[in-house]
Amino acid sequence: MSPKRAVTLQDVADHAGVSRGAASFALTGRNGVSEATRERVRASAEALGYRPNLSARNLRAARTGVIAVYLPAVAPTLSYYAEATFGIVNEAMAAGLVVTLVPSPAPGTILPRLRADGLIAIDPAPGDPALEQLLSAGMPVVSGEEMPAEYRRVRGEVRSDHTAATLRLLDHFHANGAKAPAVISPEGSLGWAEEVTTAYRAWCAEHGIKERVEVVRLDSLPESTVAATETLLGARDPADAILALTEGSVLNVLTSATEYGRSAGNDLLVAAAVDSPALQFTEPTITAIDLNPREFGRACMRIMLDVLEDRASTSEVVRHNVPIEINFRDSTRGKRV
């Protein structure tokens, strides 16, 4: 509205009666300026409503002020990624950085080279050409979940203990009467899904229980999900508890249960490996692992900030663990007595 030009560092310096350099030193907290002067400059800045021009600052520092975030192609469909992104944005804003989402390019398309000071890649998948291109830009990288070994080393890695959570959930199934738990997992390369499935297999081995893993195809999700449910529930020896990795597959199991003469939450336990808001609205409500995506995103950005400010080790990968929990709901309550 007000067409008056923005207040500049020079304005602040003039107002405080010092040179521009001194004002800069005072405001950025560098040594070389008396405490009294610093206070005076701060007061002037405050009074004038000074806000540093980031373009100028970035130009000077040979930075862009931008952090790129790369999400899997399925991102828009999963509230998990939206939450994680908001976590990243939150933390970035506080540091005066801007976050740019890198859209997964349509297959065959090439990404425009992007200017950024760092890249946060969530759930990086092996063999993703766009990811490869991004990594080759040479900026520091923090990954959410494990970066596939084939790629160059990352500076930071944020993870969660999916194995422990999975085992706990399977124990919960077991305690509530399940003898034949199963897993429905998307095919391919999400490290997270693989970790859950591997934990499941280990649990089965330890308990001497037959493995039931159904894999759904990403290119025909609805159909293959229906088929997976049928295989698990229509078998002569059907599953009596299902851990579904995606929202689609839990919902399919839950809403198909009666077709197979089962009652979800009662003689068929159902849980999701990742929570989402919808799971509180079904009847019965659905037990799910709460991946704490907001905090996960924040953690990624915090490590990125450490890296950018040279507070992070350059020789080894900074690792951080985000705790996850289980939201127990009615779908795993088991037979009523």
Partner DNA sequence: CTGAAAGCGCTTACAG
Give the nearest distance from C-beta 136 to DNA in angstroms.
Answer: 21
Give the nearest distance from C-beta 208 to its own copies in angstroms.
Answer: 33
**Cα 319 to Cα 183: distance, rounded to the nearest angstrom:** 29
The verdict on 66 binding its own copies (CB under 8 A) reads: yes
Tell me if 61 sits within 8 A of 76, measured CB to CB.
no
Q: How are strands ordered across the β-sheet holding 66-70?
A: 98-102, 66-70, 118-122, 141-144, 156-159, 318-321
The verdict on 4 binding DNA (CB under 7 A) reads: no
Specify the residue, 141 or 303, whose C-beta has the smaller distance to its own copies.
Answer: 141
Encoded one letter per residue, x for contact with its own copies by CB under 8 A and - for no contact, window 227-256 reads --------------------xxx-xx-xxx
**Cα 64 to Cα 248: distance, rounded to the nearest angstrom:** 39
- Helix, strand, coil fractions of the chain, as percent rounded to 5: 45, 15, 40
The verdict on 243 binding DNA (CB under 7 A) reads: no
Of residues 160 through 199, those in contact with its own copies by CB under 8 A are none
* Counts of helices then strands in the chain (DSSP H, E): 11, 12
Tell me if 335 sits within 8 A of 267, measured CB to CB.
yes
Of residues 42 through 101, those in contact with DNA by CB under 7 A are 50, 52-53, 56-57, 59-62
Q: Which whole-number Å values give the CA distances from 126 to 25, 72, 246, in the listed order?
A: 46, 11, 20
The verdict on 138 binding DNA (CB under 7 A) reads: no
Give the nearest distance from C-beta 32 to its own copies in angstroms.
Answer: 25
The verdict on 222 binding its own copies (CB under 8 A) reads: yes
Strand 156-159 with 118-122, pairing: unpaired
Nearest Cα residue to 27 out of 12, 17, 6 = 12
Strand 241-244 with 66-70, pairing: unpaired
Encoded one letter per residue, x for contact with its own copies by CB under 8 A and - for no contact, window 105-124 reads -------xxxx---------
Site residues (vs its own copies, CB under 8 A): 1-2, 51, 53-56, 58-59, 63-66, 75-79, 81-83, 85-86, 89-90, 93-94, 98-101, 103, 112-115, 136, 138, 221-222, 225-226, 247-249, 251-252, 254-256, 258-259, 276-278, 280-285
Applying CB under 7 A, the residues found at the interface with DNA are 5-6, 8-10, 18-22, 24-25, 27-28, 30-37, 50, 52-53, 56-57, 59-62
